[in-house]
Chains A and B, each alone.
Chain A
Amino acid sequence: NAGVTQTPKFQVLKTGQSMTLQCAQDMNHNSMYWYRQDPGMGLRLIYYSASEGTTDKGEVPNGYNVSRLNKREFSLRLESAAPSQTSVYFCATLILNGKGGEQFFGPGTRLTVL
Chain B
Amino acid sequence: DAKTTQPPSMDCAEGRAANLPCNHSTISGNEYVYWYRQIHSQGPQYIIHGLKNNETNEMASLIITEDRKSSTLILPHATLRDTAVYYCIVRVANTGNQFYFGTGTSLTVIP
Contacts and interface: CB of A to CB of B under 8 A. Distances in A.
B102 interface: yes
Interface residues of A, number: 33
Interface string B38-81: 00011111100101000000000000000000000000000000
Given A43-B101, A44-B101, A108-B41, A102 B46 contact: yes
Contacts of B97: 48, 50, 56
B41 to A, nearest CB: 7
Contacts, number: 71
Interface string B73-100: 0000000000001010000011111111
A101 B103 CA distance: 21
Given A42-B103, A43-B87, A107-B43, 18 more contacts: A4-B43, A31-B96, A42-B104, A43-B44, A45-B99, A48-B96, A48-B98, A49-B96, A56-B97, A59-B100, A92-B44, A92-B99, A98-B94, A99-B93, A102-B46, A103-B44, A103-B46, A105-B43
